[in-house]
Amino acid sequence: MKAFCDKIKDARAESGLSQPQLGEMAGVSTRSIVAYEKGEKKPRQGTLLKLAKALGVSVKFLSDDSCENPMEDIERDGYIEQARKLYGVRGGNDVDSLLRANSALFAGGELSQAEKDAFFEAVMKAYITCKEEARERYGRKKD
């Protein structure tokens, strides 16, 4: 098992990025990258998404010490990022929880990438539809 600090350091080195370059790509200071690599602090979820994207690895790989596959669950990251952009941190967390909870439905079975994509898209579409309907129905009334 590898800790976050080791994974980020190794992934950065494999990507051929310097600490300042990674910081610029993820929107954080070089000082933060150094602190992550030393194990002095961990990033917030939004920054973790940006770091994973910059490094070409999944959030799960960076955040789960027992995950050894850098690409595991990477398809989820885009949907979570989209929800964060539309609905903020809570929206990203909601979609992450939905995808995690519903992925358990397929435990023991293997899905093709196309089947996973179709599933994630359907969950995301349902989430956005519900959020927009709630916003229309319960949001602020226009004068």
Distance, in Å, from the CA atom of 57 to the CA atom of 134, rounded to the nearest integer, reads 34
Q: How confident is the model at residue 143 (pLDDT cuts 50, 70, 90)?
A: low
Mean pLDDT of 103-121: 76
Q: Are 22 and 55 a contacting pair, CB within 8 Å?
A: yes
DSSP H helices, the chain, are: 4-15, 19-26, 30-38, 45-55, 59-63, 74-103, 113-138
Residue 116 confidence (pLDDT): 79
Task: Please give the angle made by the CA atoms of 66, 94 and 130, to the nearest 5 degrees.
Answer: 150
Tens-digit pLDDT profile for residues 76-107: 899 999 999 999 989 998 998 888 887 767 66
Residue 82: Cβ-neighbour burial (10 angstroms; 0-12, 13-18, 19+): middle
User: Residue 141 — pLDDT band, cuts 50, 70, 90?
Assistant: low
Distances (CA, A) of 67 to 4, 52, 56, 61, 142: 10, 14, 15, 5, 48
Q: What is the pTM of this model?
A: 0.80
Give tens-digit pLDDT for 27-53.
999 999 999 999 999 999 889 999 999
Confidence of residue 2 (pLDDT cuts 50, 70, 90): very high
**pLDDT in the model for residue 142:** 59
Rounded Cα gap, residues 90 and 114, in angstroms = 28
Which domains are assigned to the chain?
Answer: 4-63 (1.10.260.40), 74-138 (no CATH)
